Amino acid sequence: MTERSDFYIRKNYLEQTHSALSDKSLQSIADTKAEHTIDAYESDWNDFCDWCAFHHEKPLPAPPETIINYINDLADYATVATIRRRVSAISENYHAAGLSAENPCKDWMVREALIGLSRQKGVAQKGKTPIYWEEIEKMVSLMDSTKLTDVRDKAILLLGFMGAFRRSEIAELDVEDLRFFSQGMVVTITHSKTDQTSAGQQVGIPYIEDTNLCAVTAVRNWLRRADLHSGALFRRILKSGQPGSGHISDKSINLIIKKYVSLIGLDPELYGAHSLRHGFATSAALSGLEERIIMKQTRHRSVEMVRRYINEGDLFVNNPVAMMFSRRKNTRS
């Protein structure tokens, strides 16, 4: 039976099957996928292999029926987006193994099964609930400025919201990625989901009048209190009360958000690190900002997701219920 280690996307299979390619050519083809994309594909492939081992099936080669049975079991707890990503990972690994002709994911039955699952589960996926600015204010009000953990968490919350950052982007920041100016701070994202060529993306975070809610002030305060001059920006706090040496994990970012959401009386199951990014975009839309202005901060390549945030904001802008009761109030006064 095929082992989980038979993940050909990471292996240099081209060197074995295309001996005419130079080393430089092999490397350029190997670099077509970002490292985090390969990591995600490997995780998906391993999940498929584990399922196959449990059901005494072969993952490679596998008939279309195996793929269909796998994704139907997966549908019991996974979203349509996750299912499609798993199928994509399996398909990519077949290509990498030189088995494109035998790729079961290209079979018509698998395509039909995906369509059927999409209709059953619904294609509109539920993302994390957005955290609005008013909720950020409540969270900050509960923080103790004498505790180093709270100083760090405040910087994470405010920077995550105002920069519309993904949790991996927050977790991977280094002190060297920050530059301070009289107007505020420029954050350079060296690795991002939408920047797979590692060209780097810069995000401006201006000072705001309320220093207690200013992300730039919060980050500078964290740097001073933790005595950080280089290396990982956000770190775990050791039992000694001192910051560790390595980056905080992106999962820890998620847990921090859930902690403060819970403290202000919201259901932590509905929120996560993406709630900061979602919250910024929706709040910006509520403020009437144009798509291109929002995309400048969120760094979305497509307007599709930004328009979804704008549509969410529009639900309360010029809302007939709000307008009706506002007019009733004005009439009475």
> For position 146, which CATH number holds?
1.10.443.10
Number of domains in the chain: 2
Q: How far is CA 145 from CA 141, 156, 192, in A?
A: 10, 14, 31
Based on the domain organization, do 207 and 277 belong to the same domain? yes
pLDDT given for residue 9 in this prediction: 77
Of the two residues 4 and 219, the one the predictor is more confident about is 219
- Radius of gyration over alpha carbons of the chain, in Å? 24
> For position 97, which CATH number holds?
1.10.150.130
* Interval 137-165: pLDDT, tens: 999 999 999 999 999 999 999 999 999 99
Based on the domain organization, do 159 and 230 belong to the same domain? yes
Indicate whether 5 belongs to any domain: no
- List the domain range (segments joined by +) for residue 69: 13-121
Task: Examine residue 63 and say whether the peptide bond preceding it is cis (omega within 30 degrees of 0).
Answer: no
Confidence of residue 309 (pLDDT cuts 50, 70, 90): low
Evaluate if residue 205 carries a pLDDT over 70: yes
Closest Cα to residue 233, out of 159, 172, 151?
172
Based on the domain organization, do 229 and 89 belong to the same domain? no
How far is 89 from 70, CA to CA, in rounded Å? 13
DSSP secondary structure string, 93-123?
HHHHTT-GGG-GGGSHHHHHHHHHHHHHH-S
Question: For all residues of the chain together, what is the average pLDDT?
Answer: 83
Q: Name the pairing type of β-strands 201-206 and 178-180.
A: unpaired
Based on the domain organization, do 270 and 299 belong to the same domain? yes
Indicate whether 322 belongs to any domain: no
Based on the domain organization, do 102 and 139 belong to the same domain? no
Check if the beta carbon of residue 275 is closer than 8 Å to that of residue 269: no
Confidence of residue 223 (pLDDT cuts 50, 70, 90): very high
Based on the domain organization, do 218 and 282 belong to the same domain? yes
Indicate whether 36 belongs to any domain: yes
Q: Which residues pair with 205 in a beta bridge?
A: 185
Check if the beta carbon of residue 234 is closer than 8 Å to that of residue 173: yes
Confidence of residue 216 (pLDDT cuts 50, 70, 90): very high
Indicate whether 78 belongs to any domain: yes
Based on the domain organization, do 26 and 73 belong to the same domain? yes
Active site residues: 166, 193, 274, 277, 300, 309
List of long-range contacts for 64-68, beta carbons under 8 Å, 24+ apart = 64/104, 64/105, 64/107, 64/109, 64/110, 65/109, 66/104, 67/104, 67/105, 67/107, 67/110, 67/113, 68/109, 68/110, 68/113
Indicate whether 319 belongs to any domain: no
Of 121, 151, 185, the residue at which a domain comes to its end is: 121
pLDDT given for residue 16 in this prediction: 44
Evaluate if residue 294 carries a pLDDT over 70: yes
Indicate whether 324 belongs to any domain: no
* Interval 6-59: pLDDT, tens: 888 766 444 444 455 565 555 554 444 456 677 778 888 988 998 988 888 989
Based on the domain organization, do 38 and 171 belong to the same domain? no
* Interval 247-284: pLDDT, tens: 999 889 999 999 999 999 999 989 988 899 988 988 88
Based on the domain organization, do 53 and 163 belong to the same domain? no
Based on the domain organization, do 193 and 85 belong to the same domain? no
Based on the domain organization, do 114 and 155 belong to the same domain? no
Based on the domain organization, do 143 and 100 belong to the same domain? no
pLDDT given for residue 110 in this prediction: 92
Check if the beta carbon of residue 72 is closer than 8 Å to that of residue 86: no
